Structure 1
Amino acid sequence: MKRALTLLSVLCTFVATLTVGTSASMAATADGGVDCQHVAAPDVPGATVESLTGVDKPAAGGVPARCEVDLYLTHPGVGDHVRVAVWLPSSGWNGRYQGTGGASWAAGVFDFYLAPAVAQGFAAASTDAGTGTNQADPSSWALKADGTVNTELLTNFASRSVHDMTVAAKQVITSFYGKAPSYSYWNSCSTGGRQGLMEAQRYPTDYNGIVAAAPAINEDRLTVGGLWPQVLMNESHDYLSSCKLNAFTQAAIAQCDTRDGAPADGIIEQPEDCDYDPHGLVGQTVVCDGQSSTITTTDADVVAGIWRGPTSPDGRHNPWYGMTRGAALDQVAAITTDSDGTTHGAPFPVTDTWIRYFLKKQPSFDTSTVTRGQFAQLFVQSQNEYNKIIGTDDPDLTAFRNAGGKMITWHGQADQIITPLNTVDYIHRVWSTIGSAADTNSFYRVFFAPGAGHCGLGSYGPFPPDNGLGAVMNWVENGQAPATLPAAMVDGSGATVTRNLCLFPQTAHYDGHGDPKAAASYHCAA
């Protein structure tokens, strides 16, 4: 659970920080309070206004006085109870609406996303999809009383509730301000990135602009694929410590770091071209928690398998992608030690719960014991049963393009949770479906961030501080498509590192002179 929760802690790093133009609001009372009384219930099936709360004092972080509207929706015959929260700044509304997404098993994270959005002048909304806000555990809703999967709530989580939220929020905004939002934007990462792509694919007129960062595109396969490192450790009875795993990561970075022509900076520019062989560490000693440990051939075999990715039981083909060299391995190859000293695998929480509840339908199932053969069966089962519900791998974005929508995806090359190869595969298929990369770039652009971890978590390299929202707004409102995406971070020495992320498939090349930590010292080229 701790690993799942740490993902949420990093989301603030990509909440947008840009300043946008404002317009006067009509929601302030004469005494400076906030009048929520004239907000009407939206014309959405099953919608009721649960509460209207006027918050008349600005909060920390620049969050203004606001009207907080809590709606509840229900779908006929389902019996669900879906919460939608809409926050409306009482003054300084910029005329725009921002939809916000979730993390892990939460469809929305509410205050965490809503507060910064309204601080920037947006009216904003979030939803719990009727499943609650626990991002680590779906146990309260995944299975019905008879032990079958609650496909209605899974459908809410996968797609339906974000659309419902968007329709309802726009009506509430219109009721509150007396006019509809001029532009609507989606801005989220990970689960929220998947939700953004789902909107573009199934509800192409909901948003003018979408930021779908590090998206869990093929969630039906991606989530099961996250168990592969555990399968390898279980199969070999070799459970690598975080210290050993980090030694392999650092060795790969050391070998492939300077291939971009820049001085060593701890960043692999193109990890797919890094061919570092982990067996080069065999026999070397690492110190873990004060204890010396020697790298074994079995250790190297496990890491090689993680980087190669899942293989079929006969070893003849790869049904999914491995992790990229340079990504931290200990998120999905974690281990735990019992009180009796026994060490075993600790599967990533989202993967663990997906298999236990949605595939095995047995909450007590121990996913750390899954064999290679069982893994292959679970992988196929997940795709067959759930791709149509939660898969966002449809490359046909024609309707979104025709509606005038613009979308940006950025993905860390060192993403330790969702491999960037997932996004590489998707954009290639979009190019083929739309006609070409050039045609696709007219409305959808993808950028990769070398060295950046999942949504910026655990990054060696810079990532977009505003998640790309400023770029997609400029594209939508001013017609200026981004050629690069500005990225930044503060490194271990306290120095600010900047980089302009290149439009895929271009990559950054060092000019041969200038500060290697400055974006101005690089250019983008094929």
Structure 2
Amino acid sequence: MQRTPILTIAACVLAVIPASAAREQTPAAVAEARDVRSISAADCTVSRVGATIPVTAIGEPVSAVALDPPAWTDATGEMPGYCSVTGSMAPADPDAPHAQPIHFRVVLPAEWNGRAVQLGGGGMNGIIPNLTGPIDGGPSGPARRAVTFGSDSGHRAGRGVPVDWALNDEAIRNLGYMQMKKTRDAAMVVVERAYDARPAFVYYIGSSQGGREALTVAQRYPDDYDGIISNVPIVGFSTLMLAPELIRIHEKPLANWVTPAKTATIRDHFLRTCDHLDGRVDGVINNYAACRAIFDRSQRAPGQNPWAPKRCPDGVDPAPDNDGPGACLTDGQIATLDLVYSRYVFATPLANGATTFGMWVPNTDPSGSGLIEARRYAGQEGAAPDAPVHSHLGALGVTGFLMRDPGANPLDYVEGGPLDARRRELSEWLDSTNPDLTAFRARGGKAIVTIGTDDTLASPGAQLDYYQAIIDTMGRSAVESFARLFVMPQGNHGLRARVAPHDGNGRPLEPRPLPTAIDRVSMLFDWVERGVAPPLHATLTGTDDTMPLCSYPAYPHYADGEYVCREADDTQAAPRQ
């Protein structure tokens, strides 16, 4: 079937609209103005897209690329029709122990406007992302007339699936960075075969692991992408997997165990110390930088102990089961909290010269994502004889990647010990901490990154330190010319936020969500394709209120009856007396 480009009516209209008026068109209108190419079920065939891809078309090593017969899905409701092409890439060394293929998929919409969006994974990956679902909370790829593609990153996940892939270095490197390039290159071949054209714009959009992946492609493959959206990226991935174990290791002595009963008193102390730092006491810790400076031992003044008001008399807890906001903390518990809310110092520098990991910042969910555990684990004082080995989402990265024994006890890790060289090697493969995005900026790339300070799964401290490293490396004006580094106070790992149960004066508050809605995708498309930069400080909606979404290092400050973005100063870092 011979296909010719279909020029929409909107394109003809746009040609006679003055430039000033054209800039006011919505992103949807701009998309309609593209040279739209069409395919149908008759094009969704092996004869059209092929059964293989030459390995020479893939920019990282693979030994073969095979494509399954494509499948057409008819339009239903608001979902346009599309052709789905699934394939696999064999490892460069298929005979290596535990070698795994990369499974990938490309979704080709019936009408295509020239955009291609690579969607990132989540957790430890292991499945192909949902390529026909909402993109960053908005319309799907087919509904946007955009190609979408993604992969399982080179291993399978799920109940009963073997985890021995974690013992294969190529599989680990695929997870870290190579699968993004391999998947992108394979998708470009499929797209060109289907539409007789390559994409005009290629984007990477992801959250969490996918957010790290988006940063990775900007760092490692800057010429391949026009723009990225990186939400809650796990920038220091190799250490984030280890961080929960570092807490449990510190809690090996029973005296250091922060129990769930202490959750309310920790939250209360953060709020009483920091709620007022943004100019208003309302159950929201907006001035995250000043609050962090109070509790991080690397920033606070020598001899200052922000936990002193919560210390138990003589360091002994008279009521360990007291779960109220007035409960006290022992010296051992305070030492553990100092670890959790301070930068962790490495024995030797990791990739990109990193010497610390930012851990967590003061928040209103101090027990979230296992930061506080209700039981004792094998290797900890007081654990039952049959106590389980500690596990969490990234534990395989410690036992498999690092210790090379999935059955090992991660609490046996020793910082600076015999695994130190392996730590550095994994950091080079897995961490997205390179702050020099000069090449990405030079090719015209644009980046929108958003983090939340109540994110207990990723590490807001590491994310904030990466923001600062980018500015220190490139200069603020250069960064603002191509990137938005947003911070959502009290935002969680899903970038949703709520007011705390009470404010910094102890006054109970009605539970309610905070504004968190924003259209990052349209922002990015406008910036890349039309040169319309998003505001340095954007606006969050989604409730009856609005809130500013400030670019780092600014934060929402309350003045004259409203919140405005303002940069922290040293005077605001002093705790309230």
Q: Please indicate, yes or no, whether the TM-score normalized by the shorter chain is above 0.5.
A: yes
Structure 2: distance between partners of 1:505 and 1:198: 22
SS at match of 1:501: strand
Equivalent residue letter for 2:452: G
Q: Give the direction of change, closer, same or farther, for the CA distance of 1:104–1:401 in structure 2 (3 Å limit).
A: same
Would you say 1:302 and 2:336 are equivalent positions?
A: yes
Structure 2: distance between partners of 1:138 and 1:326: 36
Once the two structures are superposed, the pairs formed by residues 290-369 of structure 1 within 5 Å of their partners are: 295-310=329-344, 319-326=356-363, 328-330=365-367, 331-337=369-375, 342=383, 347=390, 349-367=392-410, 369=411
The alpha carbon displacement at 1:326 in A equals 0.8
SS at match of 1:234: coil
1:30-77 Cα shifts (integer Å, max 9, x gaps): xxx884452235744122211311111427xx4332111101122443
Q: Give the direction of change, closer, same or farther, for the CA distance of 1:97–1:466 in structure 2 (3 Å limit).
A: farther
Would you say 1:27 and 2:46 are equivalent positions?
A: no
Residue of structure 1 in register with 2:202 after alignment: 184
SS at match of 1:201: helix
Contact 1:257–1:265 (CA<8 Å) still a contact in 2? yes
SS at match of 1:392: coil
Equivalent residue letter for 1:353: L
Structure 2: distance between partners of 1:333 and 1:137: 27
Equivalent residue letter for 2:362: R
Residue of structure 2 in register with 1:453 after alignment: 492
Residue of structure 2 in register with 1:40 after alignment: 50
1:279-338 Cα shifts (integer Å, max 9, x gaps): 433459797899x9865444333223322344689xxxx843332111533224343548
Q: Give the direction of change, closer, same or farther, for the CA distance of 1:507–1:500 in structure 2 (3 Å limit).
A: same
The alpha carbon displacement at 1:122 in A equals 1.9
Residue of structure 1 in register with 2:522 after alignment: 470
The alpha carbon displacement at 1:209 in A equals 0.4
Contact 2:204–2:227 (CA<8 Å) still a contact in 1? yes
* 1:503 pairs with one of 542, 548, 551: 551
Would you say 1:195 and 2:213 are equivalent positions?
A: yes
The alpha carbon displacement at 1:482 in A equals 2.2
Equivalent residue letter for 2:429: I
The alpha carbon displacement at 1:151 in A equals 0.7
Q: Give the direction of change, closer, same or farther, for the CA distance of 1:333–1:223 in structure 2 (3 Å limit).
A: same
1:406-446 Cα shifts (integer Å, max 9, x gaps): 11211112221222232333233333433x11122222331
SS at match of 1:441: helix
SS at match of 2:561: coil
Q: Give the direction of change, closer, same or farther, for the CA distance of 1:63–1:299 in structure 2 (3 Å limit).
A: farther
Would you say 1:257 and 2:275 are equivalent positions?
A: yes
Residue of structure 2 in register with 1:146 after alignment: none
1:438-480 Cα shifts (integer Å, max 9, x gaps): 1222223311111112242676575754573222222111212
- Worse-superposed segment, 214-223 or 352-361: 214-223
Structure 2: distance between partners of 1:360 and 1:322: 22
Structure 2: distance between partners of 1:394 and 1:403: 17
The alpha carbon displacement at 1:164 in A equals 1.3
Residue of structure 1 in register with 2:171 after alignment: 153
The alpha carbon displacement at 1:207 in A equals 1.0
Equivalent residue letter for 1:306: V
Q: Please, what is the CA RMSD of the aligned residues?
A: 3.6
Would you say 1:278 and 2:318 are equivalent positions?
A: no
- Which 5+ residue runs of structure 1 have no aligned equivalent? 1-17, 144-149, 515-520
Residue of structure 1 in register with 2:147 after alignment: 123
Equivalent residue letter for 2:278: D
Structure 2: distance between partners of 1:437 and 1:198: 21
Equivalent residue letter for 1:522: V
Residue of structure 2 in register with 1:70 after alignment: 86
SS at match of 1:438: helix
Residue of structure 2 in register with 1:12 after alignment: none
Contact 1:86–1:124 (CA<8 Å) still a contact in 2? yes
Contact 1:56–1:66 (CA<8 Å) still a contact in 2? yes
1:69-117 Cα shifts (integer Å, max 9, x gaps): 10112244335421111112224x3431110111121065422675633
Contact 1:228–1:309 (CA<8 Å) still a contact in 2? no
Q: Give the direction of change, closer, same or farther, for the CA distance of 1:504–1:345 in structure 2 (3 Å limit).
A: farther
Q: Give the direction of change, closer, same or farther, for the CA distance of 1:379–1:320 in structure 2 (3 Å limit).
A: farther
Contact 2:141–2:147 (CA<8 Å) still a contact in 1? yes
Would you say 1:416 and 2:456 are equivalent positions?
A: yes
Would you say 1:483 and 2:483 are equivalent positions?
A: no
The structure with more radius of gyration: 2
Equivalent residue letter for 2:69: S
1:193-240 Cα shifts (integer Å, max 9, x gaps): 211121111111111001122222222233223322212222344433
Residue of structure 1 in register with 2:23 after alignment: none
* 1:522 pairs with one of 555, 564, 572: 564
Q: Give the direction of change, closer, same or farther, for the CA distance of 1:412–1:171 in structure 2 (3 Å limit).
A: same
Q: Give the direction of change, closer, same or farther, for the CA distance of 1:157–1:289 in structure 2 (3 Å limit).
A: same
Structure 2: distance between partners of 1:327 and 1:378: 37
Residue of structure 2 in register with 1:102 after alignment: 121
- Worse-superposed segment, 159-168 or 326-335: 326-335
Q: Give the direction of change, closer, same or farther, for the CA distance of 1:220–1:424 in structure 2 (3 Å limit).
A: same
The alpha carbon displacement at 1:180 in A equals 2.2
- Worse-superposed segment, 43-52 or 327-336: 327-336
* 2:468 pairs with one of 428, 432, 447: 428
Contact 2:343–2:358 (CA<8 Å) still a contact in 1? yes
Q: Give the direction of change, closer, same or farther, for the CA distance of 1:246–1:381 in structure 2 (3 Å limit).
A: farther
Q: Give the direction of change, closer, same or farther, for the CA distance of 1:81–1:311 in structure 2 (3 Å limit).
A: closer
Contact 1:334–1:348 (CA<8 Å) still a contact in 2? no
Q: Give the direction of change, closer, same or farther, for the CA distance of 1:431–1:44 in structure 2 (3 Å limit).
A: farther
The alpha carbon displacement at 1:133 in A equals 4.1
Contact 1:243–1:286 (CA<8 Å) still a contact in 2? yes
Contact 1:220–1:390 (CA<8 Å) still a contact in 2? yes
Structure 2: distance between partners of 1:346 and 1:268: 37
The alpha carbon displacement at 1:525 in A equals 4.6
1:370-409 Cα shifts (integer Å, max 9, x gaps): 47xx244378445322122222222232221221111121
Equivalent residue letter for 1:452: G
Contact 1:483–1:502 (CA<8 Å) still a contact in 2? no
Residue of structure 2 in register with 1:90 after alignment: 110
Structure 2: distance between partners of 1:135 and 1:297: 41
Equivalent residue letter for 1:431: I
Q: Output the TM-score relative to the length of structure 2.
A: 0.73
Contact 2:540–2:547 (CA<8 Å) still a contact in 1? yes
Structure 1: distance between partners of 2:473 and 2:253: 40
Equivalent residue letter for 2:94: V
SS at match of 2:358: coil
- Which 5+ residue runs of structure 2 have no aligned equivalent? 1-26, 56-63, 135-139, 296-305, 348-354, 500-512, 569-577
Contact 2:120–2:206 (CA<8 Å) still a contact in 1? yes
Structure 2: distance between partners of 1:312 and 1:73: 36
Structure 2: distance between partners of 1:513 and 1:131: 53
Residue of structure 2 in register with 1:405 after alignment: 445
Residue of structure 2 in register with 1:213 after alignment: 231
Equivalent residue letter for 1:397: L
